Chain A
Amino acid sequence: MKYVLMFVETERFARELQAMGELERQAAYAAVGRWFADNADKITRHTHLAPVHTATTMRLDQPEPMVTDGPYLEGKEVVSGFAEVEVADLDEALRLARTWPACPIVEIRPAS
């Protein structure tokens, strides 16, 4: 089955990343790189999003499309990236998610 893992950052995680020294941050990025390499056979695609302050939202449910600055949902948690994976079932997707070394929340959804 195909699933999309949505990586969700929290404010606290962003602060911790900010507070890291250069070496520490490099190690954190290296862990993420290793995760993608280790699971390359299951990951069909992945995207890292630019920070949330770059987001623009368009609402089409009114007479004129409305463009606003910022994400569609203001909150302390923001989606920072996606990975599309091809695995046998939800348990295998959960196993992958469990080893994710970065941001603290991962939403897993089946995709077609």
Chain B
Amino acid sequence: MSGPVPREVLAGVVREHAGRLAASLVSLLGDFSAAEDLVQDAVETALRRWPVEGVPDRPDAWLFTVARRRGLDVLRRESNHRAKLARLTWPGPAPPDDRLRLIFTCCHPALSRGAQIALTLRVVCGLSVAQIAAAFIVPETTVAQRITRAKRKIGEAGIPYRVPAGEELPSRLGEVLAVIYLLFNEGYLSNTAERAQARDLVADAEWLAALLAGLMPKEPEAAGLLALIRLHRARGAARFDARGRLVLLADQDRGLWDRQAIAAATALLTCAAHTHRRPGPYQLQAAIVACHAEAATFADTDWAQILVLYDMLLHLAPSPVTRLHRAVAVRYAQGPAAALAELNALGDALERYPLFHATRAELLRDLERHEEAHRADRRALELTANPAQQALLEERLLGWD
């Protein structure tokens, strides 16, 4: 291969190989931090040279050779690395499923959520510190410090490089799924025109979910999360209008939805649910989104089915935010008065949650209580930091001030 390499292609190749390289080096060196340093160096070299020289035919071998050379340099200079590097016989990259251990180490509960996210992007997806900083709009030094501290803790606190087994697995898997879901949400909610140049975290989250689902075929929640992310992405083109403003589900042009992707994600979900018969929060959320995605028009939405799914979800994972979403389904299944009654029970828990007030405003407007609706919209606007949501609320408030 030669010639200029598009940015996304480069990102894709790096993502495909950086995690594998990290996984094999951690196994070889028995030192997470030293392995990560070598991978970081190899990836940065690749990002510098591949745009000019083209992506090599065997990117894995190329990265491995660069890491090896760098490793030998380190060996010559630093005596404390001698013992580790002396073990290196460089037999070639480890099998791909070694990345599972890498993921579980990066998402260990003894690390803070912020560290888990930064480390997963850095080590498993091969993002540079600069890319992570840009995606979360934080200074590079903050990200670099977070990663350095996390690597130190892994080494010094004895966090093992291992996939947990037995009774530990469910909660540890939940930790990994939460990290991927947060990444997805961060990318999905901040996906506005101003951020178009930022790294597409949604793509990274989908890639991670696909990797996890592929490596853990016995865990239906991994497939559920993957289906959930794909069902959202399949409708991404209709979420913003030509001026970059948020379009609500009811107003979206469903012709822009990717029907093929929706069908494929729904099939994935159905297969996982039927094979394992172990429902979980991600499968249920995906099933709710599938109900929306399969409706030909907003009026065709099967609200009764959605209510059943919300009840199951609340049974497994009670949360005031989920109850808020359920209230929206109640509005269409039973009317705005019933939905408003549900919301009134949530006021204490969700007082600082902008969508609570925005939803309340819509219900009050349905009931022709315009003064109260206006106040609720104002409160929502005060609370939201998301520019697309702000624009939507400002538009609603026009004509009042």
**Tally of A-B residue pairs with Cβ under 8 A?**
26
- Quick one: closest B residue to A2, CB to CB? B158
A95 to B158, CA, bound (A): 14
Q: CB of B401 within 8 A of chain A? A: no
CA distance A90 to B164 in the complex (A): 12
Chain A 82-110: CB-based contact to B (< 8 A → 1; otherwise 0):
00000011110111000000000000011
Query: Whole-angstrom distance from the CB of A109 to the nearest CB of chain B?
Result: 8
Neighbouring A residues of B349 by C-beta, 8 Å: none
Main SS of the interface on chain B? loop
A110 touches which of B108, B156, B162, B168 (Cβ 8 Å): B156
Cβ of B164: which chain A residues have Cβ within 8 Å of it? 91
- A110 cross-chain contacts in B, Cβ below 8 A: 156-158
A90 to B110, CA, bound (A): 9
Question: Interface digits, B132-169 against A, CB 8 Å rule (1 contact, 0 not)?
Answer: 00000000000000000000000011111010100010
Q: Which residues of chain B have C-beta atoms less than 8 A from A94's C-beta?
A: 110
We find that the number of chain A residues with CB closer than 8 angstroms to chain B is: 11
The answer to whether A91 touches B156 (Cβ under 8 A) is: no
B156 touching A88 by the CB < 8 A rule? no
Distance (whole angstroms) from the CB of B256 to the closest CB of chain A: 47
Per-residue interface assignment for chain A, residues 1 to 44, with 1 indicating a CB less than 8 Å from any chain B CB and 0 otherwise: 10100000000000000000000000000000000000000000
Picked from B158, B162, B168, the residue with its CB within 8 Å of the CB of A1 is: B158
CB contacts (< 8 Å) of A89 on chain B: these are: 158-160, 162
Beta-carbon nearest neighbor of B162 in chain A = A91
Contacts of A95 in B (CB 8 A): 168
A110 to B157, CA, bound (A): 6
Query: Cα distance A90–B162 when bound, in Å?
Result: 11
Which of A3, A88, A91, A109 interacts with B168 by CB under 8 Å? A91
Give the docked Cα–Cα distance between A88 and B161 (Å): 12
In the complex, chain B residues whose CB is within 8 Å of the CB of A1: 158
Bound together, the chains give a CA A91 to CA B175 distance in angstroms of 15
Residues of A within 8 A of B162 (CB): 89, 91
A-B contact pairs, 17 of them (CB 8 A): A1-B158, A88-B158, A89-B160, A89-B162, A90-B108, A90-B110, A90-B157, A90-B158, A90-B159, A90-B160, A91-B159, A91-B164, A91-B168, A93-B158, A109-B157, A110-B156, A110-B158
**Taking beta carbons and an 8 Å cutoff, which residues of B are in contact with A?**
108, 110, 156-160, 162, 164, 168
Top 5 closest pairs, chain A to chain B, by CB: A89-B160, A1-B158, A89-B158, A90-B158, A90-B159
Q: Given A91-B162, A110-B156, 19 other A-B contacts at CB below 8 A? A: A1-B158, A3-B158, A88-B158, A88-B160, A89-B158, A89-B159, A89-B160, A90-B108, A90-B110, A90-B157, A90-B159, A91-B159, A91-B160, A91-B168, A93-B158, A95-B168, A109-B157, A110-B157, A110-B158
